[in-house]
Amino acid sequence: MCTGACAKFIAIPLYVLALVSVICNIMLFFPGFDTKYAVEDNEGETRLTEEVKYMGGLIGGGIMVLIPAIHIHLTSAKNCCSNRCGMFLSIGFAAAGVVGAIYSLSVAALGLSNGPVCLFIDNHLAPQWGAPFANSNGSYLSDKELWSLCIEPDNVVEFNVGLFSTLLVAACLELVLCLIQMINGLFGCICGTCSGKE
């Protein structure tokens, strides 16, 4: 497979993964599919999980991967970027994509480890807002009985686990694809893009 065709094969899934990351991150701002948790209360605090505010899926897995995907895609087309110089630049763009994917991966892993912010009952005390699984090192993930601690928003644990897991998988795939493009870009610099315009 020539390096130009390989670049196109890499760019198209990156578009999809960046879109998935952005959608998941936006959905995380609305636990229980309700907007009231994103609104600040009297103390200026929101009822959102802290890792949602880091916007790993929007910035890291979204924008920082989408921009390299566009350039990588351009190296496969017969235009100004379909040459050795374009392939050299794609290495740098892919490296930026790697950084974005690592950021998204880190935030998603942290979000899964700490669990959601919710209204929970602990030891039969009055319900309070907080992150009941923050010190569990992610052990709550394997014990679904603990999930019933959170009484509001509805199904917030399943909501967070599903979306952060999706972000984690998307970031892993973005990372692999960007690393492959860095190698592909190196070969494109040395061997050309098979486009006939070198």
Tens-of-pLDDT digits for all 198 residues of the chain?
576 677 778 889 999 999 999 999 999 999 888 888 777 665 656 688 888 889 999 999 999 999 999 888 887 666 665 666 777 788 888 999 999 999 999 999 999 988 888 888 877 777 888 888 887 777 788 888 888 888 888 888 899 999 999 999 999 999 999 999 888 888 777 776 665 444
Each domain of the chain, given as residue ranges in start order, spans 3-116+157-191
- Write the CA distances from 20 to 10, 16, 66, 120, integer angstroms: 16, 6, 11, 30
Task: Give the per-residue pLDDT at 195.
Answer: 53
- Burial label, 124 (beta-carbon count in 10 A; 0-12, 13-18, 19+): exposed
* pLDDT for residue 80: 63
User: How confident is the model at residue 197, as a pLDDT?
Assistant: 45
Which secondary-structure segment (H or E) carries 118? strand 118-120
Q: Two tokens at 52? A: 């949602």
Give pLDDT, residue 110. Answer: 93
Give me the residues paired with residue 129 across strands: 119
Rounded to an integer, what is the distance from CA 96 to the centroid of its chain?
Answer: 14
